[in-house]
Amino acid sequence: MTKHDLVMRIVEATGLPQDKVARVVQGVLNAIIDALRKGDTVELRNFGVFRVKERQPRIGRNPKQPDQVVRIPRRKVVKFKPGSLMRRLVTGS
């Protein structure tokens, strides 16, 4: 599903104009990004939790040249943990 597909589903369900729904959807996404950029956790009940974690630097290997050591620097990554309701509905367990 793309962002456009999501907008169209909301338009069909609500009857609201497409341009207004698109602005609201983009506004929600921007708010999530801004919160994560600040280091905040975004928790959407029954959906899931977005958070930023910092991965420690580590040593990796080049698969084409296993004897070659590659230093992987410290970096931030976005993690998502699905909520219990979402997990149950998607996986059936």
What pLDDT is attached to residue 14?
97
Helix-, strand-, coil-residue percentages of the chain, each rounded to 5: 45, 35, 25
**Domain tally, the chain:** 1
What pLDDT is attached to residue 66?
85
Residue-range definition of the domain harbouring residue 54: 3-91
Q: Report the CATH number at residue 23.
A: 4.10.520.10
What pLDDT is attached to residue 62?
86
**Positions in the chain whose pLDDT score sits under 50:** none
How large is the angle between the packed helices 18-37 and 3-14, nearest 10 degrees?
130
What pLDDT is attached to residue 35?
98
pTM (2 decimals)? 0.81
